[in-house]
Amino acid sequence: MNENYVIQNTQLYVKNILESEGSGHDWFHIERVTKTAVTIAEKENANLFVCELAALLHDIADEKICGDEQKGLGIVREWLSLQEVPENTIDHVLQIISKMSFKGGNNLPLKSLEGKIVQDADRLDAIGAIGIARCFVYSGAKGQLIYDPALKPRAEMTNEEYRKGKSTAVNHFYEKLLKLKGLMNTKEGKRLADERHLFMENFLKQFYKEWNGTQ
Ligand code: ADP
Ligand code: NI
């Protein structure tokens, strides 16, 4: 097995599946998460091959994409076996992506350093300038308003409410995006999150000034 070759093949494989995906898990999301995971992995002296593979494949087993998570994980295993990736590496990659694809309720930290890194990279893509852009695109696609001062952010919510309840793009900052900085696993992830977090806070300050006509 040649690691570079496996990475190249997997890039093409994932690109092909996600090219027509329209729920915010497009190929460019995967590409950004993979680059960020590699950046963090280099700083944290983690296994680059595992981080890169897991980042590339992290959304493939998502039920939104393949209908059924167990089936999706089976497909990923089959793909990696076909590439002659060693069994223990396949197990590690699958362990990471199965934990990551649990939505809402399951916020258990990932066990391995590589898992922590890929989760940090995925979370970083939800904050900062890119995170703001994704939030507004998602809101627009769901028909949500930019902001509604009468609609207060929800403090506690079930997974169902998180997905279906009425909210706004700006509320999503309080319901999720501003919480992510405190959930980062790695030192480098935290450092990157700090800058992106500050950018969102400044964005909100400017937003309210413009909203109130005071700027
Ligand atoms: P992931 O699977 O990458 O953890 P989601 O599928 O929950 O994230 O969301 C994809 C993107 O859409 C993220 O950037 C997220 O912040 C944004 N998003 C999710 N739910 C909402 C919402 N209710 N309002 C605005 N943006 C949202
Ligand atoms: Ni993702």
Mean per-residue pLDDT over the chain, rounded: 91
pLDDT of residue 16: 92
Q: Is the pLDDT of residue 7 over 50?
A: yes
Q: What is the pLDDT of residues 150-204, one digit of tens each?
A: 998 887 766 666 666 788 999 999 999 999 999 999 999 999 999 999 999 999 9
pLDDT of residue 153: 85
User: Interhelix angle for 27-43 vs 3-18, to 10°?
Assistant: 150
pLDDT of residue 37: 98
pLDDT of residue 71: 87
Q: What type of residue sits at position 142? A: K
Mean pLDDT confidence for 21-26? 70
Smallest CA separation from ligand 1 atom 13, residue? 126
Q: What is the pLDDT of residues 69-102, one digit of tens each?
A: 888 899 999 999 999 999 999 999 999 999 886 5
pLDDT of residue 70: 85
3-class SS of residue 117: helix
Phi, psi dihedrals of residue 167, rounded to the nearest 5°: -150, -170
pLDDT more than 70, % of the chain: 89
Smallest CA separation from ligand 1 atom 17, residue? 135
pLDDT of residue 104: 47
Q: How far is the CA of 165 from the centre of ligand 1 (A)?
A: 13
Q: How far apart are CA 60 and CA 75, in angstroms?
A: 9
What is the helix (H) or strand (E) element at residue 118, kind and residue range? helix 113-124
Q: Is the pLDDT of residue 106 over 60?
A: no
Domains by residue range for the chain, with CATH: 3-211 (1.10.3210.50)
Pocket of ligand 1 (CB under 6 A): 24, 122, 126, 131, 134-135, 138-139, 167, 169, 172, 176
Residue 152 Rama label (left phi>0; alpha psi -120 to 50; beta): beta
β-sheet bridge partners, residue 145: 168
3-class SS of residue 168: strand
Distances (CA, A) of 16 to 9, 26, 34: 11, 11, 16
3-class SS of residue 151: coil
Smallest CA separation from ligand 1 atom 14, residue? 126
pLDDT of residue 89: 98
